[in-house]
Amino acid sequence: MSQTPSLQETHYNQARASLQQALSWYSSVRRHWNYPPNPSLQAAVKTDLQNLKGALDKLEGTVIRIATFGLVSRGKSAVINALLGEKLLQTGPLNGVTQWPRSVRWTPPGGKVQVELIDTPGLDEIDGEARANMAREVARQVDLILFVVAGDITRTEYGALCELRKTQKPLILVFNKIDLYPETDRSEIFRQLQILGTGSRAKTLDDVLTLDEIVMVAAEPQPVPVRVEKGGVITLEWETPPPQIDELKDKLLMILNREGRSLLAINSLMQAQSAELNIARKTLSHRQEEAENLIWNYAKYKSIAVAANPIAILDLIGGTVTDLAMIRNLARLYGLPITSYEAGKLWRTLLISTGGLLAGEIASTVIIGLGKSALAFGSMFESPGALTLYGSTALLQGSIAGYGTYIIGKAAQVYLEQGCSWGSIGPSTVIKQILSGVQPNTILYRLQQQMPL
Ligand SMILES: Nc1nc2c(ncn2[C@@H]2O[C@H](COP(=O)(O)OP(=O)(O)O)[C@@H](O)[C@H]2O)c(=O)[nH]1
Ligand SMILES: [Mg+2]
């Protein structure tokens, strides 16, 4: 289906706006996001931040990247030379002529975009993991893939083709060296692929390739003997025919003009998305221990404050303030800008969802707290026994309050880690899961041990 230029522009502008927003967000939260400074996290996300910036640069540079893939000696380098119209890249019958991905600039005739043609080593030229990484990395960065084959298609090639298809990038199967296989046509190649695909997990061949995506070329045809007649004498001379590349060139130009800018938009957004995902993932794992400590410290602080505070009503106000401060600091730790309004909303949600548990916490704060005020007053005149009683009640009340804060902290942590959403499960399920994983006795005991009373 053809796209109008204005739709391309819309895609392009949307992508640009979204990338600019992401970048300014990251630079503005950098201060919070690095609070407290965590050098190993900073180092870990450095390349992701660069990739994010790179995504915008890529979009604004309007350079489309096209890479060749294929087994050794199928003519990957030759195809690029033929598109360029000059032999910039070395080609040859031996393995390993192209050692590393190399790129050359190409300005397609009449095209509005610049193209970077990327040549890669044969998929069978470098070994195992390095190959997989190279292929994945190059495929991730490019906007369009040229998969070069020549002659019979092997099982390895079929596998690589399916693998590359998973990148969701547009792909053209370039059947090279048609000068050597003049009888091969597109439907013959299609049939070969169908046979290779039999029993494979791909549902139909259509999922892998359509007839439309196969192009026949002869990038660097071999010299052929030509009969030359000179003055009645017939001699054989070797002549190198010109490359047959127009079909591929036309197809590329059509794609570039029709959807070049949309391709750029989609791919830079994909690059940005994966960078942002990495940043979030790394931030969370680096901050996990710090988050746990932060929650624990607030729980401890609250138990001590509640236990030591002789006026009941301050327990309640003080408790809320502690929880809110904890939520805001957790958010800050994760680099998520959260306003006090949002923190309050989250705290209320948690309060409602923890239902019985926190209602119990508050009830105990009020009831035991009232008792505590009376005891504190009474203890000025009464026996030392009352002081002991006061001490143990306060300890219990304090640790219950701390326990509530701990649960709220854990739930807030889940909420923040999921990017400020509960996902599909909702706050009460999260809290139930946390409660089933946390032993109240242990926490209460631990909190009581921390109290200097
Ligand atoms: N007959 C014929 N040979 C070709 C063609 N294209 C490339 N070759 C030859 O195939 C060999 C491998 O080419 P090269 O581009 O180095 O392959 P690469 O390893 O895939 O980059 C070279 O000797 C080329 O001359 C073609 O269209 N026809
Ligand atoms: Mg090569």
Atom of ligand 1 nearest to the CA of 71: 20
Is residue 304 assigned to a domain? Answer: no
- Burial of residue 149 (CB within 10 Å: 0-12, 13-18, 19+) is buried
What is the tens place of the pLDDT at every residue in 269-280?
888 888 888 887
User: Quick one: 201 and 63 in the same domain?
Assistant: yes
pLDDT tens sequence across 36-74: 677 887 888 888 888 888 888 888 887 889 999 999 899
Cβ(72) – ligand 1 distance below 6 Å: yes
328 and 405 in a single domain? The answer is yes
| pLDDT reported for residue 74 | 95
Largest CA distance in the chain: 138
| Cβ-defined contacts of 133-136 (< 8 Å, 24+) | 134/101, 135/69, 135/160, 135/163, 135/164
Above 90 in pLDDT, residue 220? yes
Domain boundary among the residues 228, 255, 275 is at 275
Query: Atom 7 (ligand 1): residue with closest C-alpha?
Result: 75
State the distance from the centre of ligand 1 to the C-alpha of 256, rounded, in angstroms. Answer: 26
Give the model confidence (pLDDT) of 157-216 as tens digits: 998 888 888 888 889 999 999 999 988 898 899 888 888 887 665 555 666 788 889 999
286 falls within a domain: no
Atom number, ligand 1, closest to the C-alpha of residue 93: 23
pLDDT of residue 240: 92
Dist. CA 75 → ligand 1 center (Å)? 4
Q: Are residues 78 and 203 in the same domain?
A: yes
Q: Ligand 1 center to residue 176 CA distance, Å?
A: 8
Is any atom of ligand 1 closer than 6 Å to the C-beta of 179?
yes
Q: Measured in angstroms, how far is the CA atom of residue 10 from the centroid of ligand 1?
A: 41
Q: Are residues 337 and 219 in the same domain?
A: no
Give the number of domains in the chain: 2
Q: Tell me if 298 is assigned to some domain.
A: no
What residues form DSSP beta bridges with 236?
227
Is residue 9, in this structure, part of any structural domain at all? yes
Least confident among 112-126, 250-264, 278-292, 433-447: 433-447
Per-residue pLDDT at 389 exceeds 70: no
Ligand 1 contacts CB of residue 402 (under 6 A): no
Domain assignment present for residue 228? The answer is yes
- Ligand 1 mean position, distance from CA 92 (Å): 6
Grade residue 385 by pLDDT with cuts at 50, 70 and 90. Answer: very low
Query: How much is the pLDDT for 70?
Result: 92
Beta bridge partners of 410: none
Give the number of the atom of ligand 1 that is nearest the alpha carbon of residue 217.
Answer: 27
Q: What mean pLDDT value characterizes the chain? A: 80
Three-class SS of residue 105? strand
Q: Is 176 touching ligand 1 by the criterion CB < 6 Å?
A: yes
CA of 22 to the centre of ligand 1 (A): 44
Q: Choose the final residue of a domain: 225, 257, 275.
A: 275
Whether residues 258 and 322 share a domain: the answer is: no
Least confident of 7-11, 91-95, 349-353, 417-421: 91-95
Residue 386 confidence (pLDDT):
43
pLDDT over 60 (residue 79):
yes
Can you tell me the mean pLDDT for 375-398?
A: 55
210 and 145, same structural domain? yes
Q: How far is the CA of 267 from the centre of ligand 2 (A)?
A: 26
Q: Could you tell me which residue, 337 or 229, shows the higher pLDDT?
A: 229
Is the same domain home to 82 and 151?
Answer: yes
Q: Whose atoms come closest to the Cα of 98: which ligand?
A: 2
356: domain range? 309-450
Q: What is the pLDDT of residue 384?
A: 46
Closest C-alpha to ligand 1, atom 4: 220
DSSP letters spanning 424-453? TT-HHHHHHHHHHHS-HHHHHHHHHHH---
Q: Which of 252, 275, 298 is the last residue of a domain?
A: 275
- 3-class DSSP state for residue 82? helix
Q: Are residues 158 and 70 in the same domain?
A: yes
335 closest CA partner among 29, 45, 27, 28: 29
The finding on whether 220 has its CB within 6 A of some atom of ligand 1 is: yes
Question: Is residue 77 lining ligand 1, measured as CB closer than 6 Å?
Answer: yes
Q: Which of 274, 45, 22 is nearest to 140 (CA)?
A: 274
Cα–ligand 1 centroid distance for 77 (angstroms): 7
Residue 124 Cβ contacting ligand 1 at under 6 Å: no
Please tell me whether residues 318 and 226 are part of one structural domain. no
343 assigned to some structural domain: yes
For 134-164, the pLDDT digits (tens) are: 777 888 888 899 999 999 999 889 988 888 8
- Is pLDDT larger for residue 252 or for residue 3? 252
Measured distance CA(162)–CA(166) in Å, rounded = 7
State the residue for tokens 């059947």: 175
Predicted pLDDT of residue 288: 87
- Mean pLDDT within 245-265: 87
The residue whose CA is least distant from atom 19 of ligand 1 is: 73
pTM of the predicted model over 0.75? no
Shared-domain flag, residues 150 and 244: yes
From the CB of 73, is ligand 1 less than 6 Å away? yes
The answer as to whether 289 is a domain residue is no
- Whether 222 is in the pocket of ligand 1, judged by its Cβ within 6 Å, is yes
pLDDT in the model for residue 356: 60
**Highest mean pLDDT, choosing among 32-41, 64-73, 102-111, 339-348:** 64-73
Q: 198 C-alpha to center of ligand 1: Å?
A: 29
Whether 268 and 321 map to the same domain: the answer is no
Is the domain of 74 the same as that of 221? yes
Q: Residue 180 sits in a domain of what CATH number?
A: 3.40.50.300
Q: Can the peptide bond before residue 427 be classed as cis, meaning omega within 30 degrees of 0?
A: no
**Structural domain includes residue 203:** yes
H-state helical runs in 34-111: 39-44, 46-61, 76-84
For a ligand 1 pocket test, name from 220, 224, 240, 244 the mutation site with the most ligand atoms within 8 angstroms of its C-beta: 220
